[in-house]
Structure 1
Amino acid sequence: MANDCINHEYYLRFSDKVLALIRKIFHKSPEFRHDSFKHVARFAPFIPFMGGRPDLSKPLRRVVTFTDRSNSLYLGCPIILAAGANKTALRIRDYANVGFGGITVGTATRHFREGNTHRPRIGFLEEDRAIHNSMGLNNEGVEVIARRVDAQLVKAHKAGLCVGISVAETPGLSDPEEKLKDIVESFTIAYRAADYIEINVSCPNTGESRVDLDMSFSERIFTEIMNVRNSQTLRKAVYAKLSPDLSERHLISIMDMLVRTGVNGVVVGNTYPTAKMSELPMNAKFDDLTPLRADGDCGGMSGRPLFDNMVWNVKYIREHYPQMSVIACGGIDHGYKIYDLIKLGVDAVQCYSVVAFRWMAAHAMRNELYDALVNDGYKSLGEYDDRNPKKPMVRSV
């Protein structure tokens, strides 16, 4: 593909330096710092210097459509808050205050999970603008999360948010039939509430073997999930969240399988397995992460170092699987990056780590994305899409 994606740099404003000071003050309580974003989202409209409010203007609205007649996704802007930021599905609408056009809640499992018991379970790598996470899929269970999403969906839509639920297999199950039943039940419950469902088959931080490494079992999961989906009156989009460390051969195998089973799209990708962090352009070293590695050297890395890897995967999938919807995730911290990815054919992006390093990051990226559009002669994303139609989304096997 001819389009280039540049790892655009942003320059620290005074507010970003204040955010860095807050990280320094709370450096011994990284999980508290991580969790405090929900309070920022809630109170942003009431604090004058934060400027937090839903942006309901039209230039950055995006509609993602599917040729299999799945429900379209209506995004206030193509920036989605990734799973892990709001695990509880409480106060979903608040995240429109800080600039997001969509949110994926969870990841949810069939029942309540405490997650990994060691502390800390998260760490900030300042020099790399990266986060190491070994939370272990802590959540209140998919029934609780789906019930909350269902109760808040109308208000979220009015604030310009599209809402998805991420679901995963419950760690600790050994019997394949029990595993299959578990994740299909979680999918079915989440499906009733969300605008779209994201199947997380690539979580690296529970100590369990990743589902996406077992192609035979992965195909059984997605075949059964799509059978359930196709039996419903409403057809909602189903995305698979892939790991960013797949070899080209493995990526081809899993993409071929997803096309065969009729999955709508992919999220590219999940956190990068920390044990392989030497493959990323990072200053931090694996041995520096103790005691974060108390989970047995599991865990995942997110943030700026993942960008180049993510771009390679996006380019490959868009070139070889143009029928698949693609949501890009990994190292996205600048609006010009989002524009570059849109030119590559992605429908939206997901991010979260950036909110720890940029003040009101989604609002800043919205401004940069709009500037990029204007500089290229467009007044809106809608105008861009009209003048640059995608390749026909025709499924092949």
Structure 2
Amino acid sequence: MSFNCVNHEYYLNFGDRVLALIRRIFHNNPEFRHDSLKHAARLAPFIPFMGGRPDLSKTLKRVITFPDHSNSLYLGCPIILAAGANKTAKRICDYANMGFGGITVGTATRKFREGNTHRPRIGFLENDRAIHNSMGLNNEGVEVIARRTDEQLTKAHKVGLCVGVSVAETPGLTNDEDKLKDLLESFAIAYKAGDYIEINVSCPNTGEARVDLDLSLTERIFGEIMKYRNAQAIRKAVYAKISPDLSERHLVNIMDMLVRTGVNGVVVGNTYPTKKISELPVEAKYEDLTPLRADGDCGGMSGRPLYENMMWNVTYIRTHYPEISVIACGGIDHGFKIFDLIKLGVDAVECYSVVAFRWMAAHAMRKELEAALLESGYSTLTDYDDHNPKQTKSV
């Protein structure tokens, strides 16, 4: 399999330096800094130097369709704010101010979770432009998150946002039957609310064994989820969020199972497990991440160092499984990266860590993506898609 990966660089502007100053000021309060995005999203239209408003132009509009005729997804642009940024599903429309064309809320579990109790649960790695976290799936429970999502969905569509809901099993369950029942209940509740549902089977920061490492259980879960989905009057897309650290053999087994059960797509991937960060191109040392290792090495890394790994996984999946929708996630911090992924056949990208390092990151990446399209002779993303149909096969 041929593999080409260019980790496009961006250069710091005034806003990026302001963000760096904010990170230094709140160095001892990283979770406050992490949580401040909601305030920036809300205030962006009212602060002149931020200039944040929904971009309703059609230049980067993206429509994702599915061979099984699940409901199409309509994104204002192919940049989705990843799960973890808006855990509460409050004020969803505010994130259109930041330039996003979609948002995945959650991750939600069946009931309220405080998350991991140690502090800090998050840290910034300046030299690597990365974040490490072990939040522990803190959330208010899927019923609350689904209700809020449902109440705001129509307004979100009007500002160009496609809205997904991420769900995961409740940590602490030890019996496979209980895990299956728990996740299926969460899925059924979330299904009523979002445009699509993302099943997080790869979260590394709860101290529990990841679901995607147990192929038998994973197949049962997705089999029951798709059985439920196929019985509904409205077919919504189902995505599986898989881990970036899978071996090639395990990746093949996971992908074969997802195709076999009829899952619409994959999000590639999740945070990279802390124990394995030496496998990434990082300056940070495993032994230096002491605050987040106090809980027994829960947690993982996200940000720029994940890009090459993510590109390899995406290239492999698009080469061998062209029928399945792919949303790329990991190290995406430049619009030219997004265009490289689109040329591979990726439908959209998810990002989050970049907003801590680039000022109004989604707006900046939109401009870069538009420039990449123009350099290639296309005026809009639709124009590119019309001239470059994806290689797919019906299922």
Taking only the aligned residue pairs, the percentage that are identical comes to 79
Counterpart residue type for residue 377 of structure 2: G
Alignment of 1:149-188 (within 5 A): 149-188=149-188
In the other structure, the counterpart of 2:94 is 94
What letter corresponds to residue 160 of structure 1 in structure 2?
G
* 3-state SS of 2:49 partner: helix
> Aligned with 1:291: secondary structure?
helix
TM-score by structure 2 length? Answer: 0.99
Alpha-carbon distance in structure 1 between the residues aligned to 2:178 and 2:291: 33
Counterpart in the other structure of 2:317 = 317
Is 1:221 aligned with 2:221? yes
* 2:107 partner letter: T
Deviation at 1:91, TM superposition (A): 0.1
Write the mapping of 1:343-354 to structure 2, written as runs, cut at 5 A.
343-354=343-354
2:17 maps to amino acid: K
Query: In 2, distance between residues paired with 1:338 and 1:11?
Result: 17
Q: Is the 8 A contact 1:5 1:341 kept in 2?
A: no
CA distance in structure 1 between the aligned counterparts of 2:262 and 2:49, rounded to whole angstroms: 47
- Matched residue type, 1:374: L
Residue 78 of structure 1 aligns with which residue?
Answer: 78
Question: What's the RMSD between the two structures over aligned residues?
Answer: 0.8
Cα distance in 2 between the residues matched to 1:390 and 1:200: 26
- Report how far residue 393 of structure 1 moved: 3.2
Specify the code of the residue in structure 2 equivalent to 1:282.
V
Amino acid across the alignment from 1:284 = A
Where do 5+ consecutive residues of structure 1 fail to align?
A: none
User: Which residue matches 1:58?
Assistant: 58
CA shift at 1:276, angstroms? 0.3
Whole-angstrom CA distance in 2 between matches of 1:345 and 1:221? 27
Aligned-pair distance for 1:3? 7.3
Task: Output one character per residue of 1:168-194: Cα deviation in whole Å (capped at 9) or x when no partner.
Answer: 000001111111000000000000000
Other-structure match for 1:246? 246
The SS at the match of 1:226 is helix
Q: Is the 8 A contact 1:5 1:337 kept in 2?
A: no
Deviation per residue, 1:122-175 (Å, 9 max, x gap) = 000000000001000000000000000000000000000000000000000111
State the Cα distance separating 1:2 from its structure 2 match: 6.1
Contact 2:303 / 2:331 at 8 angstroms: preserved in 1? Answer: yes
Q: Classify 1:205/1:158 alpha carbon distance in 2 versus 1 (closer, same or farther; 3 Å).
A: same
Query: Does the 8 Å contact 1:66/1:393 carry over to 2?
Result: no
CA contact (8 A) 1:61 1:76 kept: yes
What residue number does 1:301 align with?
A: 301
- 3-state SS of the aligned residue for 2:44? helix
* Shift, 1:292, TM fit: 1.6
CA distance in 1, matches of 2:118, 2:6: 38
Are 1:3 and 1:343, in contact at CA under 8 Å, matched by a contact in 2? no
Deviations 1:82-130 (A, max 9, x none): 0000000000000000000000000000000000000000000000000
Q: In the alignment, what sits opposite 2:204?
A: 204
Question: How far apart are 1:380 and its partner, in Å?
Answer: 0.3
| C-alpha distance after superposition, 1:333-365 (max 9, x if no partner) | 000000000000000000000000000000000
Task: Give the distance between the partners of 2:142 and 2:156, measured in 1 at CA.
Answer: 19
Q: Matched residues in 1 for 2:31 and 2:358: separation?
A: 18
Structure 1 counterpart of 2:256, one-letter code: D
Contact 1:3 1:344 in 2 (8 A): no
C-alpha distance in structure 2 between counterparts of 1:254 and 1:392, whole Å? 19
Q: Which amino acid aligns with 1:172?
A: G
Q: Deviations over 1:28-70 (max 9, x none)?
A: 0000000000000000000011010000000100000001010
Question: Deviations 1:274-311 (Å, cap 9, x if unpaired)?
Answer: 11000000000011111121221110100000000000
Q: TM-score, normalised by structure 1?
A: 0.99
Check conservation: 2:226, 2:262, Cα contact below 8 A.
yes
User: Counterpart of 1:113?
Assistant: 113
**1 CA distance for matches of 2:60 and 2:2?**
24
Q: Distance in 1 between matches of 2:51 and 2:128?
A: 28
Any idea what SS the aligned residue of 1:42 has?
Answer: helix
Aligned length: 395
